[in-house]
A and B are shown apart, each in its own frame.
Chain A
Amino acid sequence: MSIVTETYLRRAERDDLDTILAWMEDPDFQFFLYGDAAQSSRQTREKIIMMLGRSAPQSMPGAIYLVIESKADGLIGMISLQNISWRNRSCNIDVYMGAKERRNSMTMALGVYRALEYAFDELNLHRVGAFIYAFNRASWRIIEKVGAVREMTLEKHILRDGVLHDGYGYGLLRDEFELVRKRFAGAAANASLKAMVQFLAQEGDNPS
Chain B
Amino acid sequence: MFVEWLCLVQQGLYLARGKQRDENKGIMITGEHGIIRFPEPDDALFLRQLYVAGPTRAALLDPRREPLMPTMREIREMLARKDAAQGLMYTVEDTTGVLRGWCGLRGINYEARYAELVLLFADETRYHAAIADEPLDFLLARAFTQLRLYKVVALCLDTETHLSQYLERRSFVCVGAQRQALFSGGAWHDLRTYALTAHSCAPSGATNP
- Give the interface of A toward B (CB within 8 A): 2, 8-15, 62, 83-85, 87-90, 126-127, 129, 149, 151-159, 164, 169, 171, 173
In the complex, chain B residues 54-108 whose Cβ is within 8 Å of any chain A Cβ: 55, 63-66, 69-73
A interface secondary structure, majority: strand
Set A2, A156, A173: member contacting B179, Cβ < 8 A: A173
Task: Please determine whether A127 and B180 come into contact, CB atoms closer than 8 angstroms.
Answer: yes
In the assembled complex, which residues on chain A have CB atoms less than 8 Å from the CB atom of B188?
Answer: 126
Task: Please determine whether A158 and B175 come into contact, CB atoms closer than 8 angstroms.
Answer: no
Known A14-B73, A15-B73, A88-B64; judge A127-B179 contact (CB<8 A).
Answer: yes
Q: Is residue B151 within 8 Å, beta carbon to beta carbon, of the partner chain? A: yes
Task: State which size class the interface on B falls in.
Answer: 20 to 34
- Give the interface of B toward A (CB within 8 A): 48, 52-53, 55, 63-66, 69-73, 111-112, 114, 150-151, 153, 175-183, 185, 188, 193, 195
Task: Please determine whether A88 and B69 come into contact, CB atoms closer than 8 angstroms.
Answer: no
A122–B47 alpha-carbon span in the complex (Å): 38
Set B111, B175, B177, B182: member contacting A88, Cβ < 8 A: B182
A-B contact pairs, 6 of them (CB 8 A): A11-B70, A90-B181, A127-B179, A154-B193, A169-B176, A173-B179
A171–B178 alpha-carbon span in the complex (Å): 7
Task: Please determine whether B112 and A159 come into contact, CB atoms closer than 8 angstroms.
Answer: yes
Known A152-B193, A155-B175; judge A173-B180 contact (CB<8 A).
Answer: yes
Task: Please determine whether A153 and B176 come into contact, CB atoms closer than 8 angstroms.
Answer: yes
Task: Please determine whether B180 and A84 come into contact, CB atoms closer than 8 angstroms.
Answer: no
